[in-house]
Amino acid sequence: MNKRITVAAGDGIGPEITQSVLRVLEAAGCGLEYDHIEVGEKVYLSGNTSGIPSAAWDVLRRNPILLKGPITTPQGGGYKSLNVTIRKTLGLFANVRPCRSFHPFVRTQHPNMDVVVVRENEEDLYAGIEHRQTTDVYQCLKIITIPGTEKIIRYAFDYARSNGRKKVTCLVKDNIMKVTDGLFADIFRRIGKEYPELDQETQIIDIGTARVATRPERYDVIVTLNLYGDIISDVTAELTGSVGMAGSANIGDRISMFEAIHGSAPDIAGKGIANPSAMLNAACMMLAHMGMPEKAGLIQNAWLCTLEDGIHPADIHQPGVSKVKAGTIVFADAVIERLGRRPSSLQPVQMKGGAMPTYTYQRPVVDRVPCGVDLFVNEATHDADELAHQLQRASGGLLQLKLITNRGVKVWPGGFPETFCTDHWRCRFAGTDVDIKAAKAQYLPIDKATIPALMQRMHDAGVDVVKTENLYLFDGERGFSLGQGE
């Protein structure tokens, strides 16, 4: 791999910790070359709302790696998150967060935890597609894709393999979200077969989070969707007792970004007392990612020896446990002195190595046929039967009304008087040749031209359609969930 990387020192304590980290990398003989770019506060204040100048993009795009210090986003509106911009623009699909405890040097109730959370970074509810549709109802789309899921799951398994991990746990809610989370769990099981040496399990996110919170020691690598990963990675970081020591990686197909989790701490900037550990750990993740796992292990073990020897920066200094309160440079030099040593009480780091494989998506070939449409109708009635009659009249036999639900609860045919109804009705239409009274739900192919035609008829009849979702069969299988009681 190309050994030329981009370095953005960032704001506040960024420059001093970056300098000390590069010093350690050099002493360990990593042989890296650097292109420095300026991002962050100065760039924001110069009038650039995204905090990164155009010229920096060219550098970023040229090198496969960005090592980034913490950023200060100025107060006041209009400034965009630099991380979100970089992540979205460069397609950084995986967020990787190792959460390990360093007890007794950092106090925690879970001295034996060593968990890595691999979080999908681009999809799920975080795609940011939200609509208010009626007076009562607001909606956010949860988007899960085959390539996005294959990519993150393959990455988690490859990460586990090349970092000498033993087990991968997949967290989903597939008992409720059978289509989306079901896809994620299916792909986990399918790809998992290619990694027979790794233990594999799937857990439901609610009880899974409860177990992570009380027994993190039983987890190794966790792979999960964006929202769940957001929650779980904060839980595991907090459990270690040392949010300030952790690095994080954002992995893309061609470019990846490595950084400390903590902020720019302007109050102690320039004083030479900042703890460079988090950025050093991020740099070690970077080295492993670049195919230099032995260098990553060399540095991490020297760093663990430094902790064991009681040489501690101010933020983790504890009377009785610490021996030296070390400044940034003193601490970095202490790590350098210990290169080649292995820790005695803390578990040494061992990596298997190799650069991470790149993933290429092969779109499956499936037969996709429309078989109906869900029309979502705005209507302030409480009478589902009357609404059903109105829709049946309006459709004029083009398609057949099969079901109406309100917030997912069936209200026609055969609703219950207790059901509270909003002004937002999901009205499911199927082909006219379907037996809608059959005990098991049936769907048959329809002519796609009937969908825009149905829309026009609804409009002409004064039905207020606010959104549509077409229904499809994929290789003859239903691609959508049934309504309750359908």
Q: Please tell me whether residue 189 binds a copy of itself under the rule CB under 8 A.
A: no
Pairing of strands 130-132, 114-120: unpaired
Kindly indicate which of the ranges 296-304, 322-330, 385-393, 447-455 contains the residues binding a copy of itself, using the contact rule CB under 8 A: 447-455
Kindly indicate which of the ranges 194-202, 292-300, 329-337, 404-412 contains the residues binding a copy of itself, using the contact rule CB under 8 A: 404-412
Q: Please tell me whether residue 166 binds a copy of itself under the rule CB under 8 A.
A: no
Kindly indicate which of the ranges 2-10, 170-178, 271-279, 385-393 contains the residues binding a copy of itself, using the contact rule CB under 8 A: 170-178
The pair of three-digit structure tokens given for residue 1, joined into one six-digit string: 């791999």
Q: Which H or E element spans position 54?
A: helix 54-62
Instruction: Please give the Cα distance from 105 to 103 (Å, whole number).
Output: 5
Q: Please tell me whether residue 64 binds a copy of itself under the rule CB under 8 A.
A: no
Interface with a copy of itself in residues 351-370 (CB under 8 A): 361, 363-364, 366, 368
Q: Please tell me whether residue 396 binds a copy of itself under the rule CB under 8 A.
A: no
Q: Please tell me whether residue 445 binds a copy of itself under the rule CB under 8 A.
A: no
Q: Please tell me whether residue 461 binds a copy of itself under the rule CB under 8 A.
A: no
Q: Please tell me whether residue 190 binds a copy of itself under the rule CB under 8 A.
A: no
Q: What is the closest distance, in whole angstroms, from the C-beta atom of residue 86 to a copy of itself in the complex? A: 10
Q: Please tell me whether residue 466 binds a copy of itself under the rule CB under 8 A.
A: yes
The pair of three-digit structure tokens given for residue 12, joined into one six-digit string: 């506040």
Instruction: Please give the Cα distance from 238 to 99 (Å, whole number).
Output: 9
Angle at 178 between CA 173 and CA 180, to 5 degrees: 80
Residues 6 or more apart whose Cβ sits within 8 Å of residue 269: 11, 12, 13, 16
Q: List the one residue out of 68, 92, 102, 89 whose CA is nearest residue 247.
A: 68
Q: Please tell me whether residue 441 binds a copy of itself under the rule CB under 8 A.
A: no
* Contact in structure between 277 and 313 (CB atoms under 8 Å): yes
Q: Please tell me whether residue 381 binds a copy of itself under the rule CB under 8 A.
A: no
Interface with a copy of itself in residues 219-278 (CB under 8 A): 227, 230-231, 233-235, 237-239, 252-255
Q: Please tell me whether residue 393 binds a copy of itself under the rule CB under 8 A.
A: no
Q: Please tell me whether residue 167 binds a copy of itself under the rule CB under 8 A.
A: no
Interface with a copy of itself in residues 22-51 (CB under 8 A): none
Q: Which is nearer to a copy of itself, 419 or 442 (CB)?
A: 419
Instruction: Please give the Cα distance from 341 to 319 (Å, whole number).
Output: 25
Instruction: Please give the Cα distance from 144 to 126 (Å, whole number).
Output: 11
Burial annotation 148-170 (CB, 10 A radius, 16+ → b, else e)? bbbbbbbbbbbbbbbbebeebbb
* Contact in structure between 65 and 290 (CB atoms under 8 Å): yes
Q: Among 140, 166, 272, 414, which residue sits at the site for a copy of itself (rule: CB under 8 A)?
A: 140
Q: Among 100, 103, 161, 173, which residue sits at the site for a copy of itself (rule: CB under 8 A)?
A: 173
Q: Which is nearer to a copy of itself, 69 or 372 (CB)?
A: 372
Look up tokens 């046929």; give the residue: 369
Q: What is the closest distance, in whole angstroms, from the C-beta atom of residue 179 to a copy of itself in the complex? A: 4
Residue 56 has φ and ψ, to the nearest 5°, of -65, -30
Q: Among 19, 73, 83, 139, which residue sits at the site for a copy of itself (rule: CB under 8 A)?
A: 139
Q: Which is nearer to a copy of itself, 51 or 252 (CB)?
A: 252
Q: Which is nearer to a copy of itself, 193 or 440 (CB)?
A: 440
Q: Which is nearer to a copy of itself, 104 or 182 (CB)?
A: 182
Amino acid letter for position 335 = V
Q: Which is nearer to a copy of itself, 239 or 311 (CB)?
A: 239
Instruction: Please give the Cα distance from 386 to 231 (Å, whole number).
Output: 44
Q: Please tell me whether residue 75 binds a copy of itself under the rule CB under 8 A.
A: no
Interface with a copy of itself in residues 95-134 (CB under 8 A): 109, 122-123, 125-134
Q: Which is nearer to a copy of itself, 397 or 408 (CB)?
A: 408
Q: Among 73, 89, 200, 350, which residue sits at the site for a copy of itself (rule: CB under 8 A)?
A: 89
Amino acid letter for position 180 = T
Instruction: Please give the Cα distance from 220 to 114 (Å, whole number).
Output: 6
Q: Among 141, 164, 190, 347, which residue sits at the site for a copy of itself (rule: CB under 8 A)?
A: 141
Kindly indicate which of the ranges 15-23, 190-198, 275-283, 457-465 contains the residues binding a copy of itself, using the contact rule CB under 8 A: 457-465
The pair of three-digit structure tokens given for residue 403, joined into one six-digit string: 């079901």
Pairing of strands 400-406, 311-312: unpaired
Residue 226 has φ and ψ, to the nearest 5°, of -55, -55
Q: What is the closest distance, in whole angstroms, from the C-beta atom of residue 236 to a copy of itself in the complex? A: 8
Q: Please tell me whether residue 169 binds a copy of itself under the rule CB under 8 A.
A: no
Q: What is the closest distance, in whole angstroms, from the C-beta atom of residue 415 to a copy of itself in the complex? A: 10
Instruction: Please give the Cα distance from 311 to 317 (Å, whole number).
Output: 8
Measured between its terminal Cα atoms, the distance across the chain in Å is 55
How many chain residues bind a copy of itself (CB under 8 A)?
A: 103
Q: List the one residue out of 363, 362, 392 whose CA is nearest residue 377.
A: 392
Can you say whether the dihedral through the CA atoms of 312, 313, 315, 317 is positive or negative? positive
Interface with a copy of itself in residues 197-216 (CB under 8 A): 205-207, 209-211, 213-214
